[in-house]
Amino acid sequence: HFQVVGGKVKKPGKRGRKPAKIDLKAKLERSRQSARECRARKKLRYQYLEELVSSRERAICALREELEMYKQWCMAMDQGKIPSEIKALLTGEEQGKAQQNSAKLAKAGKTEANSSNP
Q: What is the pLDDT of residue 100?
A: 72
State residue 3's pLDDT score.
59
Q: Is residue 16 part of a domain?
A: no
Contact 27, 19 (CB under 8 A): no
Give the per-residue pLDDT at 25. Answer: 87
The verdict on residue 4 lying in a domain is no
Q: Which residues of 4-42 are buried (b: 16+ CB within 10 A; e: fewer)?
A: eeeeeeeeeeeeeeeeeeeeeeeeeeeeeeeeeeeeeee
Residue 91 pLDDT grade (very low, low, confident, very high; cuts 50, 70, 90): confident
Residue 66 belongs to domain spanning: 24-89
Residue 59 lies in a domain: yes
Give the total number of structural domains in the chain.
1
pLDDT value at residue 114: 54
Rounded mean pLDDT of 30-52?
98
Residue 48: inside a domain: yes
The answer to whether position 104 is within a domain reads: no
Query: Which range in 53-57, 88-92, 93-97, 109-113 is most confidently predicted, on average pLDDT?
Result: 53-57
Question: How high is the pLDDT of residue 93?
Answer: 75
Q: What percent of the chain has pLDDT over 70?
A: 63
Pure H helices in 1-118: 24-78, 84-116
Longest dimension (CA), the chain: 109
- pLDDT tens for each residue of 15-35: 665 555 668 888 999 999 999
